[in-house]
């Protein structure tokens, strides 16, 4: 997807200029804005394939802009920040980001993260059904909807990819590394906090009691498992 449209959001004009030149030289179509307010307007008025969003900006900060974009759009969002602590990554992912890149970063790393964000997970298992029933829970992968009793939730693309990978290996533990590399790409493997955030989001949608899950189980020091009860 080298012809993808990317929106760069950063309050530093020099960074915007460098990123625009770099991305355009690799075949991307690039627009740039200087703050969260302009980013929200741009996403409302134009179609983009990905947003590169700086966290530290005046006005509407990057995290709030991320939340607001995610509330109305499934566009992939990569946040850019000088903060590298795990809690900062978790905060960004909780706000709706798909990925997190710490400044300063090299061009090859940024381009790899962009390719990973633009690439959807491959078909994870031939013959995997488009819907899955777990007791009174119905998961529809095609429509990205969950019916939990009488409550319906929508799923983000990353949540669907995670559930598909777990469903393809139902009732068996799936290691962290396999989940990360299947869903985010081969350059990933150590970003376990990504999985924790997305699993927590999923449990709020598919579990009656997210703190005591029946279906989406943690396998200590290994990964996660989707427990599918036998059909009666």
Same domain membership, residue 218 and residue 135: yes
pLDDT in the model for residue 232: 63
Q: Is 217 part of a structural domain of the chain?
A: yes
Q: Is 232 part of a structural domain of the chain?
A: no
Q: What CATH number does residue 188 fall under?
A: 1.10.10.10
Same domain membership, residue 142 and residue 107: no
Output the pTM of the full model: 0.87
Contact 12, 35 (CB under 8 A): no
Tokens representing 156 are 């983000």
Contacts with 193 (C-beta within 8 Å, 6 or more apart), sequence order = 86, 89, 90, 93
Q: Which of 232, 231, 196, 187 is nearest to 216 (CA)?
A: 196
Mean pLDDT of the 21-27 span: 95
Last residue in a domain, options 118, 143, 165: 118
pLDDT in the model for residue 114: 95
Residue that wins the pLDDT comparison between 123 and 39: 39
Same domain membership, residue 221 and residue 161: yes
Same domain membership, residue 148 and residue 112: no
Q: What CATH number does residue 12 fall under?
A: 3.40.50.2300
Q: Is 124 part of a structural domain of the chain?
A: no
pLDDT in the model for residue 4: 93
pLDDT of residue 85 exceeding 80: yes
Q: Is 27 part of a structural domain of the chain?
A: yes
Residue that wins the pLDDT comparison between 1 and 186: 186
Q: What percent of the chain stands above pLDDT 70? A: 95
pLDDT band at 178 (very low <50, low <70, confident <90, very high): very high
Same domain membership, residue 90 and residue 24: yes
pLDDT in the model for residue 65: 95
Q: For the chain, what is the mean pLDDT?
A: 90
Last residue in a domain, options 55, 88, 118: 118
pLDDT in the model for residue 2: 66
Last residue in a domain, options 71, 95, 118: 118
Q: Which of 183, 186, 148, 178 is nearest to 164 (CA)?
A: 183
Same domain membership, residue 198 and residue 105: no
Tens-place pLDDT, residues 93-135:
999 999 999 988 899 999 999 999 998 655 454 556 788 888 8
Same domain membership, residue 179 and residue 91: no
Write out the residue range of the structural domain in which residue 65 sits: 5-118
Q: What is the DSSP letter of 230?
A: P
pLDDT in the model for residue 59: 86
Tens-place pLDDT, residues 127-165:
567 888 888 889 998 898 999 888 899 998 899 999 999
Same domain membership, residue 62 and residue 24: yes
Same domain membership, residue 172 and residue 103: no
Q: Is 12 part of a structural domain of the chain?
A: yes
Q: Is 91 part of a structural domain of the chain?
A: yes
Give the β-pairing of 77-81 and 99-102: parallel
Judged by DSSP in three states, 7 sits in: strand
Same domain membership, residue 113 and residue 139: no
How many domains does the chain contain in total? 2
């Amino acid at each position: 997807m080298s012809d993808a449209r990317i929106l760069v959001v950063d309050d530093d004009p020099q960074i915007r200029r460098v990123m625009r030149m770099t991305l355009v030289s690799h075949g991307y179509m690039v627009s740039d804005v200087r703050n969260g307010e302009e980013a929200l307007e741009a996403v409302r008025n134009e179609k983009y394939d990905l947003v590169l969003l700086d966290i530290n900006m005046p006005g509407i900060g990057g995290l709030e802009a991320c939340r607001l974009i995610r509330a109305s759009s499934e566009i992939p969002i990569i946040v850019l920040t000088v903060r590298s602590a795990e809690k900062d990554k978790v905060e960004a992912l909780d706000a709706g980001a798909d990925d997190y890149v710490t400044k300063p970063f090299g061009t090859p790393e940024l381009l790899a993260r962009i390719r990973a964000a633009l690439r959807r997970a491959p078909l994870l298992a031939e013959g995997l059904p488009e819907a899955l029933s777990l007791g009174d829970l119905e998961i529809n992968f095609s429509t990205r909807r969950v019916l939990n009793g009488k409550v319906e939730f929508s799923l983000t693309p990353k949540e669907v990819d995670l559930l598909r990978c777990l469903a393809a290996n139902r009732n068996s533990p799936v290691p962290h590394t396999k989940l990360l590399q299947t869903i985010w790409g081969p350059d990933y493997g150590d970003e376990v906090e990504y999985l924790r955030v997305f699993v927590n989001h999923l449990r709020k949608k598919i579990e009656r009691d997210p703190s005591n899950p029946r279906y989406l189980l943690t396998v200590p020091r290994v990964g996660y498992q989707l427990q599918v009860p036998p059909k009666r």
